[in-house]
Structure 1
Amino acid sequence: MNQLSSTFKIRNTTFKNRIIKGAMSEALANTAGEPNHLHLGLYEAWAKGGLGCAITGNVMVDFRAKNEPGVVVIETERDLAKLKQWAEVGKKHGMVQLIQLSHPGRQCPKGLNKETVAPSAVPFSPMLATTFATPRELTETEILDIIQRFANAAAICEKAGFEGVQLHGAHGYLISEFLSPLTNKRQDQWGGSIENRSRFLLEVYKAVRTATSKDFLVTVKLNSADFQRGGITEEEVIYVFKAIDEAGIDLIEISGGSYEAPAMAGVKADKRKQSTVAREAYFLDFAESIRKQVKCALMVTGGFRTAKGMNDALASGACDFIGLARPLAVETDLAHELIAGQNVKYAVKPIKTGIPMVDKMAIMEIIWYAAQFKTIAEGKAPNPKLSPLKVFFKYLKGNLTAVVKGQLNSRKSA
């Protein structure tokens, strides 16, 4: 049986197949964080390509906390009309759409925002400290405000017509920072024990669930590990998964890593066991073990490259959905091809500029693909041979422009 083509129902939403586009940064919004026709064009291309579901790239819940230029921000109903058009793109082609809601915490380039905030004032490693500033510790009042921002943004997404949201609790962003003992050094109810470190995630979930209807999907992306010494333990990870499952989460996407240990980009793939490599997916072994602990739907993203590997993973029961990300940047109709039994055409390789400091940060694994997204959004064919160095310098120029504009605006408002 072709497992990929089978349907799956969560609450009152039916997924027409088991292929989900994982979140990737689009960087298509303007400086005000408004979605536009480019988002519609990009997601329509993927919808036409046969996806059962698409999860958007980071959508910020606070304009003061953006992780990069070009990110969409949802704080009010300002962009409700455009968001409705975006939601309609999926409905027209039977593709479920989940908005990934996020707060980046400390992972914001210097100068992009007035300041960066996090659970604790923990600096980055020396290699990244030149790019990311040491954050300011959040007050309790600010923590409660951010929780409500997630809930408010989710309510707006439902009003726009999206089927659900994904809470970004992985990759070193704010929810993940609360969970990790490396970035959460608090001594109050938000830090210390894993029960306290999980509180922020659980309170965000409860607030979102309260602000939306019973049929609205609330999902989360969680790390299986920090991949850093002294990070969250396996026992603590299991606690988090079980706690959010018991709270009523609809689906958990399993991932791992952060900017300082980017396992989500496959950087550690060469260190995996040969048996794991043969099964393709980076986090499938963990999914198998956590499957016994939770009852909600599970999604594994990262590493899948063959139709057989995906079908085998689904047939094993380890996961309910296959997450694909980077391959969709160069093959928009990949879902149709996989269901027909074809494999990923273009091997995903590390994107290298030749500049050691840049390549170690794995930032190209984000911005090279974002460049492809803009091409697709404009109705053009993606270019698998696009120069990483050219993309990097264009990104650098755009980042500097955004920083200068932000500084000028800060001075005007001061």
Structure 2
Amino acid sequence: MDLFAAENRRYVTLSVLFITWFIGYFDRMAINIAIIPIGKEFSLSAAQSGLILSSFFLGYSIMQLFGGWFADLFGSRKVLILCVLAWSLFTGLTGLVTSFITLFAVRFMFGLGEGSFSPASSVAVAENFPRSERARAKSILLSSYQLAGIVGSFGVATLMVLYNWRNTFHILALLGIIITILLWFSLPVHRKNNETKQPAATRISAGELVKMDLVWKVLIVWFGISIVNWGLATWMPSYLIEVRHLKLLKMGLLSAIPSTAGFLSIMLTGWVLDKFMNGREKIFLVYGSVFTALFLYLMFASQSITMAILFWSLCQFSLCTVFVTVFAVPLKYFPGKSIGTATGYINFGGQIAGVVAPSLIGIMISLFHGSFQAAFWSLVVAALVSAIVGATLNMNRHFIQVTEKI
């Protein structure tokens, strides 16, 4: 059987993209653990560490506004390959930095390099899968984030113990170069989705997208839930070590449990969205946000590490329900030639949260003399804002609004 025959091509594409997402998240999360030895080596304050963790998202968020448009215009293949090549380069350079300033600059450029990848991968899904299968296809890609979390924290911690933090980034850069070569030979050169054969009128202009309620409301939902997502992703290693007094390797091992819960949530949510939730996606946005806030509070209020990990896992399960739904909305409600741009705009909100959350938590920890309580309360409020905005969505009205633009 020809692995690259037309009927198999989309599954090959999905598999390669999954591996690429996995490596990308692995690269991104490494700094969350590396910031502990880096902070000691460079004598960084909590506020400075927060700025380092935010610097990636500053560059990443900027590219959300352009990366999707590039993918809509030029196709996903070129954009995806250039993204992986760029982020691999700056991952390697992370291991060569010598100061706070150079580390901030390299992480910012890393964010610029990776910023187009998420919207471009949505375009690749639209190019290769019918609408009825897109939520599941996208959920498979998004699950790589949690899978990276399952093995990533422990894996990165182990690499840093064995080879130090600088060599860890060099190893990850080499993996990225290998993935770039794999993408070059495996991604289809021409679009396979029949939507690309439709006339140019099926594209909604960037200006019209900016004005649409659907884009703005989902962007705000994603901003709020991403405050939680990136706040936890960037500071939980430090919290578990400094407040819960775990050793580095044990922290990495226990961090796999919430990631496993998130992985299961992502796979289940994508299937349910495609099968049962057309026009009712806001149910997942609202209830997912509410339960994220509830379980987050129970997590930091718990006295035992066992209960803290349990509630962190339930929080991650709820958060990932929102995660998948946010990225499914552009795939379901926008024409193929606008999916990348719409995804980029919506994801811009999430990445601005990535800029805000790590720095905000770092500043609050400094202000409250090492306490994480106020910082975690701010994450609870952000999740509740997402729930409130999500409750105002009317998917049927928004579907009519989109179709009128086509």
TM-score normalised to structure 1 length: 0.28
Greater share of residues in strand = 1
Greater share of residues in helix = 2
